[in-house]
Structure 1
Amino acid sequence: MAEAATKASDDLWQKVRSEAQRAAAADPVFGKALAGSILAHDDFAAALADLIGQRLGGSATERARFTSFSRDAFHGEPSVIEAAARDLRAIALRDPAIADLLPPLLHYKGYVALQAWRVSSWLWRHDHRDAALLFQNEASNVLQISIHPAASIGSSVYLDHATGIVIGANVVIADEVTILQNVSIGRHSELPARSPRIGRGVYIGGGATILGDISIGDFARIGADAVVTSDIPAGCTAVGNPARLTNCPEPASAA
C-alpha cells in the first residue's frame, strides 16, 4: 500500500514539475518563484510541506515549524500525501476553469487549507493535540477556513472558493465531495450533540448549513443557502430553509 501511494504521488509530482518547467521557461520572472516553491524540491511531499509552511507561518521560525510538522505527517503516513495528490487531481477534473495541476497547487487556498487539515488530523491522532489545534487556528486566521482536526475527511475532496468554510469536530466526509464557500457543517445545539455524515460525491452549495446527527446520502446535492437538519437520501437535491427534497430518484421520492 505504501509503495502504491508513493508511486501515485511520484507520477503527479512529475506532471507538476513539467508544468513548472514550462511556466518558468515562458516567464523568467515567475520562474524565479517556481524555482523556490517547486523545482528546488525532490518530491511532492517536500514541496507541499514547504507550501503549507509558507502560507501558514508569519515568521521564519513559524514557517519552519509548520513545514517540519507537515514533513513528519507525510513521511510518517504515506496515505496522507496520497490523499493530497488525489485532492489535487480532483480540482483539475472538476474545475472547468483550469486543466493543469500547478495553478491550484500554488494559488487555491482551499487546497492548502485541506492539506493543512490533513497534517493537523495526523497530529491529533498521534496525541500532538496542541500542535493540531495550532494548525487549525492558523488556517482559520490566514485562509478563513476552519476544519477541526477531529473531523474525518476522505480523498478527492475539493473546497471551491473556500472562504468561510467551517467543519466541526467529528464530522465525517466521504470521498469526492465538493464544498463551496461559506458552508458550515457541525453539531446541532440540541442534545445529543452529534455531527453530520456526508456521503460520497456530495455537492454542497455556497452558504449551506448542515447540522446535527444526520446523514447526507451519496451523490446528494445541497443547494446554496439551504439549511439541512434531517437526513437527505442518496441522489436527492435539498433546497431552502428548512431544506426540502427535490429531484429525488423514484424510490426516495416515494418514501
Structure 2
Amino acid sequence: MSVNSEQLWAHLCEEAERFGVSEPVLASFYHAHILHHGNFADALSYHLASLLDSDSLPAMLVREVFHNAYISQPAIIEMAVADICAHYERDPACDHYGMPFLYFKGFQAIQAQRIAHYLWIHNRKSLALYLQNRIAAVFDVDIHPGAKLGSGIMLDHATGVVIGETAVVGNNVSMLHSVTLGGCGSGRGPRHPKIGDGVLISTGAKVLGNITIGEGAKIAAGSVVLEDVAPHTTVAGVPATPVGGNSQNIPALEMDQSI
C-alpha cells in the first residue's frame, strides 16, 4: 500500500475540488460523495450506501451498518485503502485515486462484501445474505459473505465474478471479469479454492473445488482449474495444466495475461 488512509483522503479531496471546477455539472456530485465528509470512512459509507439503497433497506440504514462496522473493525478501512492503491498501481486506465472509489464496481463490490463478511462472522447472517443479494443485483458480482478476502485486491471490470462461501483469497490478488471461485461437493466443509498472495486469475477462468493456488501463480484466461497449482507456476487449458513458471515474479502486480 503506497499511501495511508489520511494521505488517500487528501488525494481524494484534491481531485474532487479540481474535477468539480473543470466539470461544473458534476460539482454537486463530488461535493456530496467526497467533499461533504470529514474523512475517508465517512465518505465510503455514504457512497456505498447510496449505491445499495433500496425500498427494503434505505441508504440511511445501510450507512449506519457500514459506519458501525468501520468503528468496530478499523482494519476494514485500511483494506479499502489498499484496494484503491491496487487499482491505481496496476490498472493503466486508472489515473487518479477517485476512479475506483466513485466508478469501479469491482472495488465497490469488494468493500460491500467486507461489511457482509463482518456481519456474517458476528452472527448477523440474515443481513449479510441480504447484502450479498443486493451487491449481486447492483454490481453483477456475487461473493458469499462467508468468503475471506485479503487486502490489495483488484477486480478489474468485475462483471460476472462469483466467489463461494468457503473461498479464501490472499493479499495482492488480481482477478478479471467472469472469474469463478466455485465449489465442489455438497458437504458443509471447505469446498472452494484457497488463493495465495500475488496470484493473477485471468479473464473467464474457473477455479473449482477445495484446491490451493500457490503464491505468485498465474491462471490463464478461460482455464478450468481442478487441481492444486504450485507457487510461481502458470497454468492454462481445460483442464488446466502447467505451461511454465514465473520465477519469483508477482503476476498480480504485473497484470500480464500472456502465457
Q: TM-score with structure 1 length normalisation?
A: 0.92
| TM superposition shift of 1:153 | 0.6
Aligned mates of 1:193, 1:76 — CA distance in 2:
28
Match for residue 210 of structure 1 among 207, 211, 230: 207
The 1:130–1:52 alpha-carbon spacing in structure 2 relative to 1, beyond 3 Å, is same
Q: Structure 1: which 5+ runs fail to align?
A: 251-255
The residue number in structure 2 matching 1:34 is 30
The residue number in structure 1 matching 2:92 is 96
Q: How many residues align?
A: 245
User: Is the helix fraction higher in 1 or 2?
Assistant: 1
Aligned mates of 1:133, 1:160 — CA distance in 2:
24
Q: Deviations over 1:85-114 (max 9, x none)?
A: 110011000001122101111000011000
Aligned mates of 1:20, 1:39 — CA distance in 2:
7
| TM superposition shift of 1:57 | 1.1
Greater alpha carbon shift after TM alignment, 70-79 vs 187-196 = 187-196
Q: TM-score with structure 2 length normalisation?
A: 0.90
Match for residue 194 of structure 1 among 179, 183, 191: 191
The residue number in structure 1 matching 2:60 is 64
Matched residue SS, 2:58: helix
Q: Deviations over 1:201-236 (max 9, x none)?
A: 100011111111111011111111100010111111
Greater alpha carbon shift after TM alignment, 115-124 vs 62-71 = 62-71
The residue number in structure 1 matching 2:154 is 158
Aligned mates of 1:125, 1:234 — CA distance in 2:
30
The residue number in structure 2 matching 1:54 is 50
In the alignment, does 2:118 pair up with 1:122? yes
| TM superposition shift of 1:187 | 1.5
Aligned mates of 2:95, 2:57 — CA distance in 1:
35
Matched residue SS, 1:91: helix
The residue number in structure 2 matching 1:253 is none
**Percent identity of equivalent pairs:** 36
Aligned mates of 1:126, 1:189 — CA distance in 2:
26
The 1:61–1:210 alpha-carbon spacing in structure 2 relative to 1, beyond 3 Å, is closer
Q: Deviations over 1:19-76 (max 9, x none)?
A: 1111112121111110111100111111111111111113495211221111111111
Aligned mates of 2:199, 2:85 — CA distance in 1:
17
| TM superposition shift of 1:190 | 6.7
Aligned mates of 2:135, 2:167 — CA distance in 1:
18
The 1:187–1:55 alpha-carbon spacing in structure 2 relative to 1, beyond 3 Å, is same
Aligned mates of 1:129, 1:60 — CA distance in 2:
17
The residue number in structure 2 matching 1:132 is 128
In the alignment, does 2:230 pair up with 1:229? no
Q: Considering only aligned residues, what root-mean-square deviation do their CA atoms show, in Å? A: 1.8
Match for residue 8 of structure 1 among 4, 22, 30: 4
Aligned mates of 1:219, 1:40 — CA distance in 2:
41
Match for residue 167 of structure 1 among 156, 163, 166: 163
